[in-house]
Amino acid sequence: MNLEEFNQSDRCKHFTCPERSVSPAVYILLYVCSAAVVLLTVCGNLLVIISVFHFKQLHTPTNMLVLSLAVSDFFVGMSVMPLMLIWTIESCWIFGRVFCTIYWLINSLLTISVYTIAQIAVDRYLALSNPFLYMNIVSVKITCAAVVLNWSITVAYISALLYVNRNFTNSVMCPGECVLPMNMVWTIIDLVYSFIFPLSVIIILYTLVFVIAKKHATAIRELNNHTRPKTQKITSHSMKSERKAAKVLCILVSVFLICLLPYFIYSLLNDLIEIQTDTFQKLMVVGCLNSTINPVIYALFYPWFRRCIKLIITLQIFQTDSALINVLS
């Protein structure tokens, strides 16, 4: 045993999990609320997955990205969130060393969600900036290839991160702990790759989308001033679409920042200041909640999703030719 392992082992002799400071009623309520959040995340994203998979009318490039986002968020709800919430409630990691390693591996699904949001920003920008080129080049197959590439790169990245930081699997870990030791260089790399770069793409491209949409609306208003009442409805519809686009943009960026910014700030400051484990757990829970809210942002704003929910809940999707039902009108 080397000196570092000896010091770590000596530290573990004095390490104890914090005692629960809540009453049994609050303890049970926390588990009930956690189960409700997990169920909402899983069911919400599962409804999106079924809708896009089943209805042929929804097989579009943009919806393939929505499907990718829903799949990653579904697995976050199935795997990451239950472990994270139990860890937070118990104030101690109770699943052992092996599951701790698995936990950090599947935690990369959060990064897939972030990059899928960035892909949606690219898709919307291309569709508005050059619609003719978009229609001729961007197809469902190309979008699916981009989705597969996104998943592959992210999985390769997290695998490389775990491999380079091999002290994670070799170091002595106290019972009740689940940590991912990273040096400062990899902390900064992870911050740039997982947050700063995709966030920059999202903000820049959605800002350009908003500017382009505003120009389109202005052009339509000028056209209507010459054509008079005949196209007044077009102006009204355009103004409504513009306000809706601005609203969705504001919600998207705000929720993304609120959920993930605190966690990545912690990642940057982790080697500079000492942050309590319970603080880290709370930041992780907030980050996971982004997967709960994403279906609301990317699906519930669209009427077709509400129609799909009705068809799914009433089991009409099991009827013959139900895949051909018009859910967009």
User: How does residue 237 score in pLDDT terms, banded at 50, 70 and 90?
Assistant: low
> How big is the CA angle at 96 (ends 94 and 74), to the nearest 5 degrees?
75
Structural domains of the chain ordered from first start: 22-320 (1.20.1070.10)
Average pLDDT on 110-125 reads 85
Looking at every residue in the chain, the average pLDDT score rounds to: 78
pLDDT of residue 46: 93
- pLDDT tens track for 44-79: 999 999 999 999 998 988 889 889 988 988 998 998
d(CA 68, CA 144): 9
Residues 113 and 73 sit within 8 Å (Cβ to Cβ): yes
d(CA 38, CA 26): 18
The tokens of 301 are what? 């704003």
> How big is the CA angle at 277 (ends 274 and 283), to the nearest 5 degrees?
100
pLDDT above 90 (res 35): yes
> How big is the CA angle at 270 (ends 20 and 169), to the nearest 5 degrees?
80
pLDDT above 60 (res 246): no
- pLDDT tens track for 168-193: 544 555 667 777 666 677 777 877 88
pLDDT above 60 (res 7): no
